[in-house]
């Protein structure tokens, strides 16, 4: 794996570079929902060029064998390729010795390795670890776990309103108790480029070590760990155009040699007996078991690919795209850009405020246009709390992106906001006594035991139940203002059918007739628009349901006067999730606990093509909502002595 000359002197212009590069990425030749893919989620993971794919495939086709101990030629060749990859990484980082570069599964594992091996051996009660408000959870949670175990304390460098670290506050945090400073080189949410050289120098002056999370930097600029004087440096291959499941921890030799092993097993030992074990030297001590050989080889190929383009050309193209995107999105009425650091990587975050549109809905509607962005809290919940937001929409650029994709993004956002304004105006103009909403069944609801039934307008089966107050007859005289609703006085949707299975058939008749995801998505948005919102007074932390891509609130109860009828109302800031809530209400609200537990919700949503939306991995809060409904149903079954009827399939 020889080094490739850096052709920066003949680098193509910003308009030529993406055209030349896109042809090297098979996935970018595809279409998404009938449109060319505009992949703008490079901070989450970059796509893979032919060179990387070919290197991994060639290894599996012609070179694969387990490494380090095989006497046969194939194993020796595989070992040589693996160690050559390590040497390539060391050269890329400007490390003094390849043995200082430990292969891991990624940045997260690298940070955990330091926290467990170095931190566990060196931290005492009262010692301090300094983090920043910009950190990814991967550079927060391992240190919290370590602090809980050792009695160490965590201190946090604040940011200003631009999204930049307050370095004077950092200087005040440093003390004789500081043992480690762990800081991201680039914020994955705002793109802030931190002055890590200055941070390292100040920490060393206070006698502390420094770990740099370089995951968001290594694909954008040159890295010299010796010039930085970094004690530890971590990055992931998949953010550098390499394979997933491979990353690197760099550590100064003297630090790594003093650290105990983190994991035990094969290849990290010199000798094992039941009387004791002696451990291997670097780097094997920290690479227990069979490593990701193909991943290391693919990472080396990715490094070669990046260096062939040259960081000067990469940075010029990415900064040009960032400037264009910032200008275009800042000019869109109703969008609010988040963060304005003076030194910024090719990451741009925003929210829609006028009218408000949930970031999940922004991401889903852009997806229908073939545009891939990231939405949610980006694994930076403390930063989002500092910003006063639940999450943002984020576009992040790579040198294979071009001006046309930025224009597509801006045009699509303008259209989304225009549609949202039209819906908002239509909703504001609609009379209180509007006709029955789509897919609402005829039934009666008893909000409180002993109360008179309240009629609900008839409509086709298949969706949410409107609030009775919103469906009052136009001839009904006005009534005095009622007190603010609570969980007991709230009107709950009744059963829409004799059982969840019967309700499911009505829903299936509709959704199975819709041929593709865009049409199913539109139907869900319409269901969500038709669903009466949960009163704001009930959108409290007590009723909140976790989900990083949307805010969900649930009011759940057993119907008064009943021992097993489950009723609920729910709401979300995301239109898609509101539509899914409408379906769940039709399936389960007003149904017996045993019937809810017996119904296979996961199978049904797969049947109608919505299984991806209910999946736990979507993190929308829907899975947690359904689990709470089933948890109450299970508790009522147990209380009624019918626990044997559950739990049934589904979440």
Give residue 255's Cα distance to chain centre: 33
C-beta of residue 211 within 8 angstroms of C-beta of residue 232:
yes
C-beta of residue 121 within 8 angstroms of C-beta of residue 106:
no
CB atoms < 10 A from the CB of 27, how many? 11
Q: Which residues contact 608 (CB under 8 A, 6 or more apart)?
A: 507, 508, 511, 512, 520
C-beta of residue 242 within 8 angstroms of C-beta of residue 302:
yes
Alpha-carbon span 16 to 1, nearest angstrom = 28
- Axis-axis angle for helices 50-58, 293-309 (nearest 10): 150
H helices present in 534-574, as ranges:
none
- Axis-axis angle for helices 575-588, 359-368 (nearest 10): 100
Q: Cα-Cα-Cα-Cα dihedral of 487, 493, 495, 501, to 10°? A: -100
Percent composition of the chain: helix, strand, coil (DSSP 3-state, to 5): 45, 15, 40
Give residue 246's Cα distance to chain centre: 19
Alpha-carbon span 557 to 568, nearest angstrom = 6
Active site residues: 379
C-beta of residue 447 within 8 angstroms of C-beta of residue 492:
yes
Among 227, 269, 266, 267, which Cα is nearest to 250's? 227
Alpha-carbon span 621 to 630, nearest angstrom = 14
C-beta of residue 453 within 8 angstroms of C-beta of residue 442:
no
Label the pairing between strands 552-558 and 38-39.
unpaired
Alpha-carbon span 498 to 144, nearest angstrom = 50
Q: Which residues contact 521 (CB under 8 A, 6 or more apart)?
A: 364, 368, 576
C-beta of residue 344 within 8 angstroms of C-beta of residue 423:
no
How many residues are given for the chain? 651
Alpha-carbon span 632 to 589, nearest angstrom = 12
C-beta of residue 337 within 8 angstroms of C-beta of residue 211:
no
H helices present in 369-444, as ranges:
381-387, 403-429
Q: Which residues contact 581 (CB under 8 A, 6 or more apart)?
A: 464, 528, 531, 552, 570, 571, 572, 622, 625
Among 460, 514, 507, which Cα is nearest to 604's? 507
Q: What is the CA radius of gyration of the chain?
A: 28
CB atoms < 10 A from the CB of 137, how many? 15
Helix or strand (DSSP H, E) at 591: strand 591-592
* Residue position matching structure tokens 């990353």: 247
Q: Which residues pair with 64 in a beta bridge?
A: none
- Axis-axis angle for helices 293-309, 311-330 (nearest 10): 80
Q: Cα-Cα-Cα-Cα dihedral of 300, 85, 92, 319, to 10°? A: 20
Q: Is residue 460 classed as helix, strand or coil in its secondary structure? A: coil
């Amino acid at each position: 794996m020889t080094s490739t000359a850096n052709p920066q002197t003949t680098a193509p212009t910003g308009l030529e570079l993406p055209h030349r590069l896109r042809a090297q990425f098979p996935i970018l030749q595809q279409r998404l929902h009938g449109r060319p893919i505009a992949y703008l989620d490079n901070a989450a993971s970059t796509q893979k060029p032919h060179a990387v794919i070919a290197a991994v495939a060639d290894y599996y086709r012609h070179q694969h064998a387990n490494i380090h101990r095989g006497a046969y030629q194939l194993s020796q060749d595989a070992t040589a390729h693996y160690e050559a990859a390590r040497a390539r990484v060391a050269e890329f980082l400007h490390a003094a010795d390849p043995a200082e570069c430990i292969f891991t599964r990624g940045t997260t594992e690298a940070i955990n390795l330091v926290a467990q091996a170095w931190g566990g051996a060196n931290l005492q009660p009262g010692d301090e670890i300094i983090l920043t408000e910009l950190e990814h959870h991967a550079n927060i949670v391992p240190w919290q776990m370590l602090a809980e175990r050792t009695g160490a304390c965590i201190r946090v460098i604040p940011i200003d309103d631009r999204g930049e670290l307050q370095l004077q506050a950092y200087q005040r945090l440093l003390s004789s108790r500081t043992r480690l400073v762990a800081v991201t080189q680039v914020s994955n949410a705002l793109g802030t480029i931190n002055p890590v050289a200055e941070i390292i120098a100040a920490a060393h002056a206070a006698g502390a070590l420094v770990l740099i999370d370089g995951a968001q930097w290594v694909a954008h600029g040159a890295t010299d760990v010796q010039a930085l004087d970094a004690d530890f440096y971590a990055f992931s291959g998949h953010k550098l155009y390499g394979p997933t499941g491979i990353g690197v921890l760099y550590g100064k030799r003297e630090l790594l040699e003093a650290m105990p092993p983190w994991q035990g097993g094969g290849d990290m030992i010199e000798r094992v007996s039941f009387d004791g074990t002696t451990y291997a030297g670097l780097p094997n001590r920290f690479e227990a078991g069979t490593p990701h050989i193909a991943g290391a080889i693919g990472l080396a190929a990715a490094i070669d690919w990046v260096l062939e383009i040259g960081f000067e050309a990469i940075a010029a193209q990415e900064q040009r795209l960032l400037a264009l995107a910032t200008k275009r999105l800042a000019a869109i009425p109703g969008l609010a850009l988040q963060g304005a650091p003076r030194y910024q990587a090719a990451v741009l975050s925003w929210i829609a405020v006028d009218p408000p549109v949930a970031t999940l809905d922004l991401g889903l509607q852009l997806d229908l246009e073939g545009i891939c962005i990231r939405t949610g809290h980006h694994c930076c919940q403390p930063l989002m709390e500092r910003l006063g937001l639940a999450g943002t929409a984020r576009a992040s650029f790579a040198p294979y992106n071009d001006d046309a994709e930025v224009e597509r993004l801006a045009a699509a956002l303008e259209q989304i906001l225009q549609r949202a304004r039209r819906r908002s105006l239509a909703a504001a103009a609609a009379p209180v006594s509007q006709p029955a909403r789509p897919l609402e069944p005829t039934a009666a609801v008893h909000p409180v035991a002993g109360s008179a039934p309240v009629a609900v307008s008839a409509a086709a089966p298949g969706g949410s139940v409107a609030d009775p107050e919103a469906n009052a007859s136009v001839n009904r005289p006005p009534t005095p203002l009622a007190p603010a609703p609570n969980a007991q006085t709230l009107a709950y949707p009744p059963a829409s059918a004799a059982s969840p299975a019967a309700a499911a058939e009505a829903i299936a008749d509709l959704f199975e007739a819709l041929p593709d995801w865009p049409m199913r998505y539109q139907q869900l948005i319409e269901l969500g628009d038709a669903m009466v919102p949960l009163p704001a007074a009930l959108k409290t932390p007590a009723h909140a349901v976790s989900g990083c891509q949307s805010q969900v609130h649930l009011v759940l109860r057993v119907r008064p006067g009943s021992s097993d009828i489950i009723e609920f109302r729910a709401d979300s800031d995301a239109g898609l999730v509101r539509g899914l809530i409408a379906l769940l209400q039709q399936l389960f609200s007003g149904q017996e606990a045993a019937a809810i537990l017996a119904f296979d919700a996961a199978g049904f949503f797969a049947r109608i093509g919505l299984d991806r939306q209910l999946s736990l991995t979507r993190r929308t809060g829907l899975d947690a909502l359904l689990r709470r409904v089933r948890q109450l149903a299970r508790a009522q079954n147990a209380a009624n002595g019918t626990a044997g009827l559950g739990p049934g399939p589904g979440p």
